[in-house]
Amino acid sequence: MKFLRRLLILILTIILLINITTIAKYIFPMKYRDYIDMYANEHKLDPYFVAAVIKTESNFKKDAASKKNAQGLMQITPETGEWVAEKMGMKDFNIDDLKDPETNIKMGCWYLNNLKEEFDGNMDLVLAAYNGGRGNVQKWLKDSEHSKDGESLHYIPFKETDKYVKKVKAIYNIYRFLYRS
């Protein structure tokens, strides 16, 4: 009986190890990959970074809406959506367009790149600004309580934003591991 039990555990362990990548890809999907690849490349972003933002923001649910009325895959607020649409020259933009996966990813990638340019490619600052607001990040960088050098943050005062930055970075590493060829 003990032998059969150990054999069963061994077989189940082998099956699990063989299928671990498949299971992980189920938990960390790469939906809308064509749009992610296209707009990430267009805006000089790592597609796995964009996927990590989407996973964190909406878990790839295109109809996701937050309490603050952020919409779609990348959880873009109507105010940010209108601002991005204006900057991108999207004349017929409607708030409902944020629920369209392609439009949401296109605008979200543009916005991430805009933040990337503002914060000199520091992706921690990009994530902090995406979640906590660019104005807050600019203010924190000028405050020695939050930034020792004015170029990076050693302390993020918003707990939600601090957790967000750490979570996206962890998920980014998972996406890189799972999907890099």
Q: Are 50 and 39 in contact (CB under 8 A)?
A: yes
Instruction: Please give the single-letter amino acid code of residue 152.
Output: S
* Amino acid 13: pLDDT: 86
Provide the token pair at 133: 């607001």
- Write out the catalytic residue numbers: 57
The pair phi, psi for residue 62, each rounded to 5°, is: -65, -25
Candidate CATH numbers 1.10.530.10, 1.25.40.10, 3.40.50.720, 1.10.150.130; the one for domain 31-179: 1.10.530.10
Report the SS3 class of residue 65: strand
CA distance 97 to 94: 5
Instruction: Please give the single-letter amino acid code of residue 8.
Output: L
SS3 content of the chain, % helix, strand, coil (to 5): 65, 0, 30
- Rg for the chain, CA atoms, rounded: 20
* Amino acid 7: pLDDT: 87
Query: How does 40-54 read in b/e, with b if 16+ C-beta sit within 10 Å?
Result: beebebebbbbbbbb
* Amino acid 23: pLDDT: 87
Q: Are 147 and 153 in contact (CB under 8 A)?
A: yes
Pick out the chain residues at pLDDT < 70.
181
